[in-house]
Structure 1
């Protein structure tokens, strides 16, 4: 996938070493990146302890929000794949007993939504 796919909302798998270096100030000692996906400037990162969602904001991307969701806090999640007319695939994540999803990630025609769902299931259900 190239830049056009990123602009259209498709996530691409990111290099673990690059992401580990980029998140050096966020990761705790002995925390390792297991899986990472890049969406233009944003990231969805699976470590051995938590899910980290990196949201770069503004024109320069200098302002960054790091959302950290420990796997033990995730009570449920759902994946909706894209269809013929609805091109968005969605991942919804609920925390504890929340009624509304704490996080909603959207992807367009993305084959990686299945891989992301598997990684989340492995982390939450183990």
Structure 2
């Protein structure tokens, strides 16, 4: 199972967010939003894209996304600056992200580096460091 590490936090593949003795089970929508932001650190992720990916086939108001971001910032307390709002456009993750794979996982057999993000399966790994 792949985990994503950022700041003092680690996002586990099962939706747990851990740091300094804290172990938070994120609701599925918050987990999905955070994975999408962590997959492209430093890159603007538009509100429309997040709404489309997290709430597919649903007519959801932007307020649902805003509540997700608010809840994530609240969970991360002192690290609220990690998720920046680009007013009127979307959100950007400000921080370094490391992909941590368990040692017992089989290594990929392809010769080219992977282009699919192991965290969310949709994007190229822009700025994500493998460990």
Q: Give me the TM-score of the superposition, normalised by structure 1.
A: 0.26
Higher relative contact order (CA 8 A, sep 6+): 2
- Specify which structure has the higher proportion of helix: 2
